[in-house]
Homo-oligomer: A and B are copies of this chain.
Amino acid sequence: MTTSPSKHLETFPNPRPGREYQIHFEAPEFTCLCPKTGQPDFATIRIRYAPADLCVELKSLKLYLWSFRDEGHFHEDVTNRLLDDLVAATSPRWMEVVGDFYVRGGIHTVVTVRHGAVPPP
């Protein structure tokens, strides 16, 4: 059973479209490349959102995150890109994406981007 990384995010119909509720994913296995040096970067990606009509399918989310493995991206840019793609695919009520990157130059960087009116965790 082989699968390939893909930028395509699959969705399924929200089982309770009339209720505002929250889904949280924590994905500690994210890696891409530094666009300046070509060296690998690593991050934990945390996603919180309230689905409207569509939910993100879990296996396609795994493949989507995998698809960044051989691409060059800056921290600030890739976190915004993840939010843009996920919002385009699911049109959520609101969504938050956090990119929590490993230490570089003695500094630990976390980027938090939001779409819509995101409540506190």
Residue ranges of A at the interface with B (Cβ–Cβ < 8 Å): 1-4, 14-16, 19-29, 31, 37-40, 42, 51, 55, 58-59, 61-62, 66, 69, 74-77, 79-80, 102-114, 120
Assuming the contacts A22-B111, A74-B15, A120-B120, asked whether A69 and B55 have C-beta atoms less than 8 A apart, the reply is no
Residues of B near A79 (CB, < 8 A) are 21
20 extra interchain contacts, Cβ-Cβ under 8 A, other than A25-B107, A27-B107, A29-B40?
A: A2-B37, A16-B76, A19-B80, A19-B113, A21-B111, A21-B112, A22-B111, A23-B111, A24-B109, A25-B108, A28-B42, A28-B106, A29-B31, A29-B106, A40-B66, A55-B76, A58-B105, A58-B107, A58-B109, A62-B105
29 contacts between A and B (CB under 8 A): A2-B37, A3-B38, A3-B39, A15-B76, A15-B77, A16-B113, A19-B80, A21-B80, A21-B113, A24-B109, A25-B109, A26-B107, A26-B108, A27-B108, A28-B106, A29-B40, A29-B106, A31-B31, A40-B69, A42-B106, A55-B76, A58-B75, A58-B104, A58-B105, A61-B105, A62-B105, A62-B106, A102-B106, A103-B106
